[in-house]
Homo-oligomer: A and B are copies of this chain.
Amino acid sequence: MASARFLSLKSFHGAATTLSPFHRPRIHQTSGKVRAFSALMSPASTAIFYQNHGPPDTVTKVIEIPPVEVKANDVCVKMLASPINPSDINRIEGVYPVRPPVPAVGGYEGVGEVHSVGSAVQGLSPGDLVMASPPSDGTWQTHVVKDKSLWHKIDKSTPVEYAATVTINPLTALRMIEDYLELKAGDAIVQNGATSMVGQCVIQLAKIRGIHTINIIRDRTGSDEAKEKLKKLGADEVYTESQLDIKNVKSLLLGLLTHFSFMFKGNVPEPVLGFNCVGGNAASLVLKFLRQGGTMVTYGGMSKKPVTVSTSSLIFKELSVKGFWLQKWISTGKTEECREMIDYLLGLVREGKLKYDMELVPFSEFHTALDKALGKHGSQPKQVIKF
């Protein structure tokens, strides 16, 4: 039946397009073949589809995908929730280094309920709560059929919006805290973009380990409320960029390699590890906070500005500048390790120890959520599609 996986979108797109078996909507060919047995079929699926790369708000369309076969090792999942992450947008734009060939269905992480299982599947049954793990392309559709190995069963009491979002952002926070330095209780981390989902997770996951956080946020209306919110999550210090700029200018006038250490009253040591998801000035602030020999890990570039490092801070302050790419980490055969960490993180969620802002949006309003995720309406919480 493998040939059934190479099908054509001709019937509803007018032009024939060959699809590979991976990262593509599976479309059941209902004509031209006589089946010798009754195949298990998925329901028809509604999907966010793009024929070509381009601006996500113009190239994505809602389409109906006919039922596809659920093969012996497949599991058909009725999706419950899936987020719109920046990397989803970059995949559609065609600028993400690893992306499915077009045409494709959008989305990369998500959670759902098992609808039906292939004849050889054990350990998963209809009604089970499962998430795409490792995440894989095509989660923005009502029914997803994938090999059983791509689904991870989780506790049914898990809030679906957390299960839908736990892999890309919270796991990034956990890995960054764990992978670069051996931090111990009492150490400190400095980060920019602290109101992001990763930022919120860093604060809470660090706090659990007794690690302090110094947090930098953008200047905007409501930054006082944002500060309070982050402090409630466990942030030790929260500054807006402009607060630090003033100090910065003073320090530059003094010609000092300042670490801003004068700002702390003995509670928070100079941070040894920094996280940057903004670039530009906000990255320079993270570097300035770091102590001698510190490391800054970049995991995003929201300002679209590069990271600039002075020669003296590389040589005399002995700073290291690195990057973190979750997808690369996940793709190196770490499925089991990844699932253990997800179970740990979702356990924290269920215990109320890990929370972050999200906005749940019905699937029917996908394009409204997409506009928010594209930043058309200013800063917005993470958009999570609820099917």
Contact = CB atoms under 8 A, between A and B. Distances in A.
B319 A310 contact: no
B311 A309 contact: no
The 7 closest A-B pairs by CB, nearest first: A301-B311, A314-B323, A321-B321, A315-B323, A298-B314, A97-B316, A306-B310
Contacts of A313: 323
B307 A309 contact: yes
Nearest to A277: B311
Interface string A293-311: 0000011110010111111
Contacts of A316: 97, 323, 325
14 contacts: A97-B257, A298-B311, A298-B314, A301-B310, A301-B312, A301-B315, A306-B308, A307-B308, A307-B314, A311-B323, A315-B324, A318-B322, A319-B322, A319-B323
A312 B311 CA distance: 21
A328 interface: yes
B314 A322 contact: yes
Interface in A90-106: 97
Contacts of A323: 311, 313-319
A279 interface: yes
Q: How many copies does the complex hold?
A: 2
Contact of A325 (B299, B304, B309, B318): B318
A19 to B, nearest CB: 26
Interface string A315-338: 111111111110010000000000
A309 B324 contact: no
B97 A311 contact: no
A320 B318 contact: no
- Candidate in A279, A306, A308 with the most chain B CB atoms within 10 angstroms: A306
B311 A318 contact: no
Given A299-B315, A306-B311, 9 more contacts: A97-B316, A301-B311, A306-B309, A307-B308, A307-B309, A314-B323, A315-B323, A316-B325, A321-B322
A285 to B, nearest CB: 15
Contacts of A318: 322-323, 325, 328
Contacts of A308: 306-309
A328 B314 CA distance: 13
A172 to B, nearest CB: 11
